[in-house]
Chains A and B, each alone.
Chain A
């Protein structure tokens, strides 16, 4: 019997020739990532060692990444103190993959990891962040865990008692129409299968649309797989992946890649014709409340957010700049843009996008998670409606339970910023 991508990866990570969905395994971890919530991991890590007489040392400091992105620069003294504790821990344990609040090497964890070559096909990656699913874009099995589970990984180097997930195969064929982006594809899929449609399962992406899709787009679709409840999303690695690893991530050595077996067993197969998709919008207050842009066009908005681990990469900023070029953001709208990393920010400056965006009236802020999770940088007023390229629209998500968040692609967000109402980018702002 053949194996799916995740079965193959977990077989490799347990030193076995095969594993099957439903089995319980303890895979070795290739990379373990935390952000500011590493402060809680740290607390739990020390709890584990209490009374053992052992010194608390991480299993392999070269395999641990700590990236500050959720609240940067620190929004409170409490956060600043947590960050300080983590800096001390990093120095003390010799953790190498540490990205502090810096313009040269800082940014959002789910951009920093791939662009620095920390993710490779076939890796087992865990992160104390639900959007760790993003890294399936490079053919890794990457999933979110809690802080205590991460403390256990720091100590042991394995994830305990993992049930091998079943896999849903999603086959996407056809060319995405103009201004229909990978974000629209994943929103459409979430709307179709619901917020729990892939619970405890992996979504494996196939088809000609995926093969042609850039790694940036693949990061977007794998990132939001968790919004359908998936343990992870994954794209079998191919020449696009190898190109990214060489050109963007700067990995020189030869990388061996593998796909799923042709006779692998899938729980479900879903086919999507990309050429028929419209731009999509996820309406309040669940990510699976998805409609085509025509159905919600005309809805008044007060804030537009471009960025996050979902849509803050250079091609996202590029499409926004194209739509905004020579035009003005509506006077009733605040438009906030957060490049996903310092590197992307600098590239956006070099390409002239930042000037275009600022001349149009947008505010371009530092790299980081920004207002996505409602901590700082762009809180909403009572009654405000935000249109955002981020990944969640739960009640209170952007910090105010008396506001609404709609989710969309960078193209819909940009076109709407010009008009002040949700707008179909194919018709224009």
Chain B
């Protein structure tokens, strides 16, 4: 069971997720402090450690549009948040898969802050509203990266294969 801790609309850009003025901070271990920095209330609660692992950010269409900055994915991966959106912008989705941030494409998702969700196989169940929403599988090209545990181990394996 996972709680929705932030509900957002359509076209949430990487400037909202991780504002450009913090881009000089690059290390995944340091980026979570600036996640949604311009949504101060959420950012303060995140920094206090109020959210349990797999807490959910719910958004509309085109989540993560804009810049390629990977900090936008690493800042959410750090606290192990899950993002459920109607769909994602390409680079953000790719970055998330590469870093192991759990992203779920759920074209019809309806959920409010405080709702309790369950991610079960190919659907999201909203236990608060009693409704169920189908999950759209991630682009097939990406599954092998997820299975390897992210792009770093995946690339490492490929390098070692070449060496042989």
Contact = CB atoms under 8 A, between A and B. Distances in A.
A binds B: yes
A296 interface: no
Interface string A368-391: 000001110000000000000000
A144 interface: yes
Contacts of B65: 195-196, 229
Listed from nearest, the 6 A-B pairs whose CB atoms lie closest are A146-B95, A40-B26, A394-B13, A161-B141, A373-B20, A146-B70
Given A144-B91, A195-B11, 6 more contacts: A44-B152, A48-B152, A130-B91, A146-B70, A195-B65, A373-B67
Nearest to B26: A40
A50 B157 CA distance: 11
Interface residues of B, number: 48
Given A148-B95, A149-B151, A374-B15, A231 B141 contact: no
B69 A286 contact: no
B62 A43 contact: no
A147 interface: yes
Interface in A1-60: 24, 36-37, 39-40, 43-44, 47-52, 54
Given A149-B151, A375-B21, A231 B70 contact: no
Interface stretch (A95-103, A150-158, A322-330): A150-158
A394 to B, nearest CB: 4
A395 to B, nearest CB: 6
- Most chain A beta carbons < 10 A, residue from B70, B71, B99, B154: B70
Given A145-B91, A394-B66, A156 B152 contact: no
Given A148-B99, A161-B145, A196-B87, A52 B156 contact: yes
A155 B155 contact: yes
B68 A160 contact: no
Chain B facing A: main interface SS = helix
A129 interface: yes
A229 B139 CA distance: 16
Contacts of A265: none
Contact of B69 (A37, A152, A156, A229): A37
A130 B67 contact: yes
Contacts of A36: 23-24
Interface of B: 11, 13, 15-16, 19-21, 23-27, 38, 61-62, 65-71, 73, 87, 89-91, 94-95, 98-99, 139-142, 144-145, 150-152, 154-156, 158-160, 162-163
A162 B141 contact: yes
Contacts of B66: 130, 392, 394
Given A161-B145, A196-B65, A199-B90, A401 B155 contact: no
Contact of B20 (A49, A54, A397): A397
B23 A373 contact: yes
B39 to A, nearest CB: 9
Contacts of B141: 24, 161-163
Contacts of A199: 62, 87, 89-90
Interface string A77-98: 0110010000000000000000
B99 to A, nearest CB: 6
B68 A43 contact: no
A43 to B, nearest CB: 6
A155 B159 contact: yes
A396 interface: yes
A43 B152 CA distance: 11
A44 B73 CA distance: 14
A43 B27 contact: yes
A81 to B, nearest CB: 9
B24 A79 contact: yes
Contacts of B142: 161
Contacts of A395: 13, 15-16, 38
A116 interface: no
A128 interface: yes
Contacts of B73: 146
A246 to B, nearest CB: 31
B158 to A, nearest CB: 6
A135 interface: no
B23 A70 contact: yes
Contact of B98 (A76, A132, A148): A148
A313 B60 CA distance: 36
Contacts of B98: 146, 148-149
A266 interface: no
B48 to A, nearest CB: 21
- Most chain A beta carbons < 10 A, residue from B20, B23, B142, B158: B20
30 contacts: A36-B24, A40-B71, A43-B27, A47-B152, A52-B160, A54-B163, A127-B68, A130-B66, A146-B70, A146-B91, A148-B99, A149-B94, A151-B155, A152-B152, A155-B159, A160-B158, A161-B141, A161-B142, A162-B141, A196-B11, A200-B90, A229-B65, A229-B89, A286-B11, A373-B15, A374-B20, A392-B66, A396-B15, A397-B13, A401-B19
B16 A396 contact: yes
B107 to A, nearest CB: 12
A174 interface: no
Contact of A37 (B19, B26, B139, B150): B26
A75 B70 CA distance: 21
B137 to A, nearest CB: 13
